[in-house]
Amino acid sequence: ETAVFQTPNYHVTQVGNEVSFNCKQTLGHDTMYWYKQDSKKLLKIMFSYNNKQLIVNETVPRRFSPQSSDKAHLNLRIKSVEPEDSAVYLCASSLGQGDNERLFFGHGTKLSVL
Amino acid sequence: QQKVQQSPESLSVPEGGMASLNCTSSDRNFQYFWWYRQHSGEGPKALMSIFSDGDKKEGRFTAHLNKASLHVSLHIRDSQPSDSALYFCAASESQGGRALIFGTGTTVSVSP
């Protein structure tokens, strides 16, 4: 059963628009993540967030920004989307920040940029 | 270049057969390995972890790790149509706070 919830499931927008995706986990976990899955199904880490400490993948463009109100929520905002942002964005959570933590994923938000 | 490479890219297995997936990393800092499975339209789900050299068995799934050669494998015994999915190997470094790095993926198709 799903315990990491993402909205919306799909979003279609035009180049230059701003979009926001929501993620909520009900597992009581301390750490949350955003991954990007491209058209070749490759999964790349974008951000991880733990106890208000943000770890950013240096390859993520500055138009992407995570937003967290509490440890159960981690949203993703994209200012001025580009065609290469078309992908599935997957939110995940883990109990802690350890190296051997299991990740629990949501179903993803599929973004299409026209 | 992906730090975690998987082979083959795709694999067809008859129902009841054995599926064998391979994973090689290029970073000796990777100490912890996972196998995840992703069905179409869903997020990846963890199958099993392996942190020590040798074999680890969970039901029909057996993982093998050789840290010296940076090689991990997954074997699925008695494959079922429900095993048809995209399989990822994932690795993390021995430093706290680093997110999992996922491999390139292997698509497994099990035909009845």
Question: pLDDT (tens digit, 9 = 90+) per residue, A38-58?
Answer: 999 999 999 988 877 887 777
Interchain contact B9–A (C-beta under 8 A): no
> Which amino acid, residue A83?
P
- Name which of A50, A52, A56 is nearest A97 in CA terms: A50
Confidence check: pLDDT of A97 > 80: no
Q: Does A45 contact chain B (CB < 8 Å)?
A: yes
pLDDT at B96: 56
Q: Which of A99, A102, A106 sits opposite B43 (nearest CB)?
A: A106
Tell me if chain A has a CB within 8 Å of the CB of B101.
yes
User: With contact defined as beta carbons under 8 Å apart, do A66 and A57 qualify?
Assistant: no
Q: Which residues of A touch B31 (CB under 8 A)?
A: 99
CA distances from B112 to A112, B14, B15, B84 (A): 35, 6, 5, 11
Span B46-70, mean pLDDT? 95
CB-CB under 8 Å, A55 with B99: yes
Residue in this structure with the two tokens 């967290």, named with its chain if needed: A68
Q: Which pLDDT value is given to residue A69?
A: 86
Alpha carbon separation from B42 to A6, A88, A101 (Å, rounded): 11, 10, 20
Residue B9's nearest CA partner among B108, B110, B78 is B108
* DSSP β-bridge partners for residue B23: B6, B72
Cβ-contact A104, B42 below 8 angstroms: no
CB contact under 8 A, A102 and B49: yes
Residue A2 has pLDDT above 80, yes or no: no
Task: Report pLDDT digits (tens) over B1-56.
Answer: 678 999 999 999 999 999 999 999 988 888 889 999 999 999 999 999 999 999 99
Give A56: exposed, middle or buried? Use CB within 10 Å, 0-12, 13-18, 19+.
Answer: middle
